[in-house]
Amino acid sequence: MFGTKPRSAWLTGVLTTGIAAGLLTAAPAHAVVGPAAKDGEYAFTAQLDIGGQRSCTGALVDPQWVITAARCFADRPDQSTEVEPGAPKLKTVATIGRTDMSGDEGQTADIVELVPRADRDVVMARLAKPVTGITPVTVATNAAAQGETLRVTGYGRTEDEWAPERLHSAEFTVKAADTTLLKIGGADPANAAICAGDTGGPAFRTVSGRPELVALNSTSWQAGCFGADAAETRRDATSTRVDNLNLWVQNVRYRPVFAAAPWEKATHIASGYFTGGSAGGSRHMDMIVRWNDAEVTLYQGSDDKDPRHPFAAEYQLAEPPKPGKTTIWQHAKQITGASFGGGTDGLVVRWGDGELTQYTHVDAKGFHGEKMLAKAKNTLWPHAQQITAGRYSANQQRDDLLVTWDDGRVTLHPDIDTNGVADKAQKVIVNKNTTWTHATHISAGEFTGTKTMDLLVRWSDGEATLYPGVDTAGFHGETNVRPKKSYWTNTNAMAGGAYAANDRANDVIIPWANGSVSLYPGVDASGTHEEIKIVN
């Protein structure tokens, strides 16, 4: 950090429109002491009117998201940066792309949701409608170096204006940095200061003609600002770093996109570390979804510790067929994520003609390492009903395939990468038990902490059963986790994975027939526990 200063001396740049402000202007006060911006310049800068009581600055980082200082929305901005997630307490209007506040260019939108960052003075603010025609600023990925010059923009006070009409900007030099903060000072100390109303304003560099957001205004001594203590001579300010929040910003931006997907049309899902990451890492597992129109989507796991937001991005792996055309994915009957060694996961697909295909690796660019496990038009595999891959044998480096059949059999195929699915390698766990013809969804998972993986089964009547520690010797007990005729009759698909704590694949994710999606974190031997609606 940069040393401790008395709180009473360290002034926030939030502009509060109290009685004195009301005597001067009925409008919210609007900038960094420095030259006025040219028309259309730095259009990504946003002016925030918070209930007619405060004015702040922010930056558009997505057509529907502005990033700014959390203290702008705190009950006591001069004392706290704590903000509750959700709708702001005061009606807040964002104006973006309006260099001259007396004009009508740019766009306005209400802020309807706040997503604060716990470890620093940052909040993402969602707009009620996307902004069009204004390019959002890119969040930098490189930290600011000591001595680097950044440009700061803001709608706050200037040296001689309480409520300036135009956006202002000035250059500031980085004097010191730590993991969350920058200490900055004016490149021209006599003509640059961060004032009330500039809080949350962007500090950015320009690379190849494009701005990169590095930090946000947080606090300032405000020397040289209109209305500031005439005895104050310090012009330094503290900005909050965002260059190391790139993934978090991406996670937050993606939330409404994920929620808007037509989850009632999801027919198959598969879990795995397809795009990198591993158990115990910082990222949640990825998920592959096959939709009823044969489109296939890969959802990349996020690094958000909040289990309500397990995904950060999506990639289309297969397009739906064009009118009058067909695609191979129309014929996919079952899919399961599987580990074949090598650090990232692949996929096993059972097709309608009985072909069984192994893809040794799947990533954002598609399917790789195709290997045929069973030829097309064979007489056996069209009778497979459900498949799931997991560590069910002594080989803990590669997955095994567990299969339920339409005659009630259950078979285990150890180390499918080496042995394939040949009869000589398979183990028959259940031999023609009609009960198993009712297994509607099955999923491997690490629910009970046993040496080998467990099996979760959802039956056609809505009952769900957990089989702990399945291995080549078969089943070793069972736990009923949902009764007959439970709500689980409405599942579209089901998969186990590491979507919450990231260390074990003991969470269950379910898209429902009504379009909602549930996550059950930390399922164990006693059954399912808390249900989190990640899509309502």
Assign 229 a pLDDT band (cuts: 50, 70, 90): low
Least confident residue range of 32-41, 178-187, 215-224, 284-293: 32-41
CA torsion sign, 327 to 330 to 332 to 336? positive
* CB distance 332 to 290 below 8 Å: yes
- 412 pLDDT higher than 70: yes
Alpha helices in 366-504 (DSSP H): 416-419
- 20 pLDDT higher than 50: no
How far is 170 from 188, CA to CA, in rounded Å?
9
- 431 pLDDT higher than 80: yes
- 430 pLDDT higher than 90: yes
- pLDDT, tens only, 342-389: 778 999 999 999 999 999 999 999 999 999 999 999 999 999 999 999
| pLDDT reported for residue 228 | 67
Domains of the chain: which residue ranges? Answer: 7-247, 261-529
* pTM assigned to the model: 0.82
How far is 276 from 129, CA to CA, in rounded Å?
33
For domain 261-529, the CATH architecture is 5 Propeller (2.115)
* Mean residue pLDDT across the chain: 88
From residue 412, alpha-carbon distances to 61, 173, 351, 470 in Å are 49, 64, 19, 10
| pLDDT reported for residue 82 | 92
From residue 13, alpha-carbon distances to 53, 79, 135, 136, 196 in Å are 14, 12, 26, 23, 4
CATH number of 7-247: 2.40.10.120
Least confident residue range of 95-99, 114-118, 498-502: 498-502
| pLDDT reported for residue 511 | 98
